Amino acid sequence: MSKSMWGGRFTKTTDAMMEEFNSSISFDKRMYREDIAGSMAHAAMLARCGILTDAEAATIRQGLQDILADIEAGNFSFEVSLEDIHMNIEKRLTERIGAVGGKLHTARSRNDQVAVDTHMYVRREIGEIAKLLEDLQKAFVEAAQNNLQVIMPGYTHLQRAQPILFSHHMMAYFFMLARDFERLQGVQRRTDILPLGAGALAGTTFPIDRHYVAEQLGFAQVYQNSLDAVSDRDYILEFLSFASILMVHLSRISEEIILWSSAEFAFIELDDAHCTGSSIMPQKKNPDMAELVRGKSGRVIGHLMAMLTTVKGLPLAYNKDLQEDKEGLFDAIDTIKFSLAVYAAMIRGLRVRQEKMEQAVRHDFSHATDMADYLVKKGLPFRQAHEVVGKTVRYCIEQEKWLMDLSIAEFQQFSPLFEADILEAIKVETCVENRNSFGGTSPAQVKLAMEAAAETIRKQQSFLDMYTKNDI
């Protein structure tokens, strides 16, 4: 008998180089828990349907439990010649319990077996990622709460635009991540479908009960088409899309963290624990964690592009190309989990330099829009008000003054509508306070945003509780 589980058809053993190239055990071994759980459920179903005896199913179950213990104790040798996690476990099972181990593969194929393993693995990791994502959301809320009244410049085109609350800026990232959480929930729904029982592509001649297996493994649905079941990688594409968008968001945060921590901005100081120094320049404190996350965003986006390219031309059903779905997926999972954990710690550890932020916003023209609004409220059409303020700003630049430095007489050079209350109207605090439209930067709106955030987290928690309750 050939060493391989499929060797009956062949007269030659597989070339060693071909064996290594064909093998996936170096990376798919991380799915051993899922593979064993799927096999246990499959064996129980075969017994329920009278395809195995209860005694055979019990023997298989015990054998699989022993293998699980061996793997977790580090006493299991994975063999490249056996290609993948499925055949490594089946071979060891047969060696341990004898010929009955060979009955486990009745009414299934590696095609639907790898599909269920991957579905279960992604589903489990979604729960871990969701916890980390929510923790980062909480870190942003904490940063907002701890710096509720701090005023900073808001930017467009990286030019100072209008004054905003730092807490408002932090909450922007909270809601950005909340949409990421919603996307992750969508991935979970479309991952929570059982492919096992589809066989190689066409179903099976045995009287199996796929819905029983779904119940045993906690799946909400069963694939309704066997071809779709073994060839679907939509959920992986969707996960990688979610992961890419999330990493883009973290990259945008990184860019701001890097800028804000520079001497040119000096808006924040990162904790020493989250920075590195230079081997040659003793004064350096580098925001390496933020830079690495920014760099890793390209890595995750690359995995999405690779997967899209892999599946775009594949005919139904299973093709070996689909073995390429895992390495990028696993790396993306590892990358975003690490990035989320690092970021939560970094946000909680950063110190806001309030005096620097407020100094910046008091020495610019970011309250010019409020000055225009003041004139509009006095009856001047906005376009005319815009021109008046533009000329006033130009005058200030020429005179090396700021708007708050001007006298009432100077203001009235540009419009008789300016009165003594103009200085109060364009105070930075007034500018922020008055932006009280829904979603604006006023303290009142930030308070409402934080209340909404608390409700969002409460709803998200019910999703996380599902994982705990169902032991996914």
Burial 366-383 (b: 16+ CB within 10 A, else e): bbbbbbbbbbeeeebeee
Which residues are marked as active site? Answer: 157, 278
Q: What is the pTM of this model?
A: 0.93
In the numeric block, which tokens belong to residue 309?
């390219």
In the numeric block, which tokens belong to residue 172?
């922007």
No. of H helices and E strands in the chain?
Answer: 19, 6
Q: What is the pLDDT of residue 228?
A: 98
Candidate from 175-179, 192-196, 278-282 with smallest mean pLDDT: 278-282
Cα gap 32→28, rounded to integer Å: 8
Q: What CATH number should be reported for the domain whose range is 14-106?
A: 1.10.275.10
What is the DSSP track for 123-191?
HHHHHHHHHHHHHHHHHHHHHHHHTTT-EEEEEETTEEEEEEEHHHHHHHHHHHHHHHHHHHHHHHHHH
Is-same-fold flag (118-147+158-206+219-353+450-470; 368-426)? no
CB 109 within 8 A of CB 200: yes
Bridging pattern class, strands 221-222 and 193-194: parallel
Candidate from 46-55, 68-77, 122-131, 274-283 with smallest mean pLDDT: 274-283
CA dihedral of 48, 52, 58, 61, whole degrees rounded to 10: -90
Burial label for 27, CB within 10 Å (0-12, 13-18, 19+), is: middle
Q: For the chain, what is the mean pLDDT?
A: 95
More confident residue, 187 or 282: 187
Cα gap 450→353, rounded to integer Å: 22
Q: What is the pLDDT of residue 466?
A: 86
CB 344 within 8 A of CB 139: yes
Chain segment 88-106, per-residue pLDDT in tens: 999 999 999 999 999 999 9
* pLDDT confidence bin for 398, thresholds 50/70/90: very high
Chain segment 236-293, per-residue pLDDT in tens: 999 999 999 999 999 999 999 999 999 999 999 999 999 889 888 888 899 999 999 9
Domain ranges of the chain: 14-106, 118-147+158-206+219-353+450-470, 368-426
What percentage of the chain carries pLDDT values higher than 70?
97
Average pLDDT over residues 200-211: 98
Bridging pattern class, strands 159-165 and 268-269: unpaired
Q: What is the pLDDT of residue 18?
A: 67
Q: What is the pLDDT of residue 2?
A: 41
CB 354 within 8 A of CB 147: yes
Cα gap 142→459, rounded to integer Å: 18
pLDDT over threshold 80, residue 10: no
CB 198 within 8 A of CB 80: no
Bridging pattern class, strands 268-269 and 221-222: unpaired
List the beta strands (DSSP E) in 365-424.
Answer: none
Element (H, E) at 246: helix 234-260
CB 334 within 8 A of CB 30: no
CATH superfamily entry for domain 118-147+158-206+219-353+450-470: Fumarase/aspartase (Central domain) (1.20.200.10)
Q: What CATH number should be reported for the domain whose range is 368-426?
A: 1.10.40.30
Average pLDDT over residues 331-351: 97
Q: For residue 467, count other CB atoms closer than 10 A to its CB.
A: 17
